[in-house]
């Protein structure tokens, strides 16, 4: 493994309320695709419990920027007690999921991912000199780009959850609400 640096450390997003898990999944994977990352799914767990579904997704999108630099984002989504409920949106009946979500985002930058400068201490020393002094401006720029991407994803997810704020969950659908589907 090359020189892996933790650039964005554990951004956390908590949300409790109505949302659609499938739409969330599509949102994340769609964002990853738009940004030119390759998707890798490392965990895909779904357990049905008495209180609802417990879901865990872990993705590790990665992107090769150059032959030397590699961006990795780790997205971990934990959903608890996810159940389907009735909701009214703009006077229309809709079936929507509700539950608790915790999302963790980490950003890693991997330098020398081909491990060309890994196998001798002297080469590692040279690599450190190169990264921290000679190539410093570019290394920092790559880190900034990764930070921007991860924060952008965080912001997108915040927007996604804000969208659901105008959903009102009802125990019984009122008579005036028409079915949306």
Which residues of the shown chain bind other proteins in the complex (CB under 8 A)? 21-22, 25-26, 29-30, 32-33, 36, 38-48, 53, 55, 57, 79, 82, 97, 114-120, 123
- CA–CA distance, 140 with 98 (Å, rounded to integer): 41
- State in angstroms the smallest separation of the CB of 20 from other proteins: 9
- State in angstroms the smallest separation of the CB of 43 from other proteins: 6
Between 21 and 87, name the residue whose CB sits nearer to other proteins. 21
Between 106 and 118, name the residue whose CB sits nearer to other proteins. 118
Between 114 and 148, name the residue whose CB sits nearer to other proteins. 114
- State in angstroms the smallest separation of the CB of 21 from other proteins: 4
- State in angstroms the smallest separation of the CB of 173 from other proteins: 22
Between 62 and 167, name the residue whose CB sits nearer to other proteins. 62
């Amino acid at each position: 493994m090359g020189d892996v640096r933790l650039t964005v450390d554990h951004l956390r997003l908590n949300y409790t309320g109505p949302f659609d898990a499938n739409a969330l999944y599509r949102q994340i994977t769609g964002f990853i695709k738009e940004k030119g990352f390759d998707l890798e799914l490392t965990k895909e767990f779904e357990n049905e419990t008495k209180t609802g579904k417990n879901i865990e997704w872990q993705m590790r999108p990665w992107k090769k920027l150059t032959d030397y630099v590699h961006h990795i984002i780790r997205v971990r989504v934990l959903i608890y007690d996810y159940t389907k409920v009735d909701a009214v949106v703009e006077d229309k009946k809709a079936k929507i999921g509700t539950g608790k979500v915790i999302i963790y985002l980490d950003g890693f930058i991997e330098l020398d991912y081909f491990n060309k400068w890994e196998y001798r201490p002297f080469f590692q020393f040279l690599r450190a000199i190169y990264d921290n002094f000679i190539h410093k401006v570019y290394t920092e720029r790559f880190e900034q780009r990764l930070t921007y991407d991860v924060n952008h994803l965080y912001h997108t997810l915040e927007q996604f959850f804000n969208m659901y704020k105008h959903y009102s969950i009802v125990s019984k659908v009122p008579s005036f609400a028409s079915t949306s589907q």
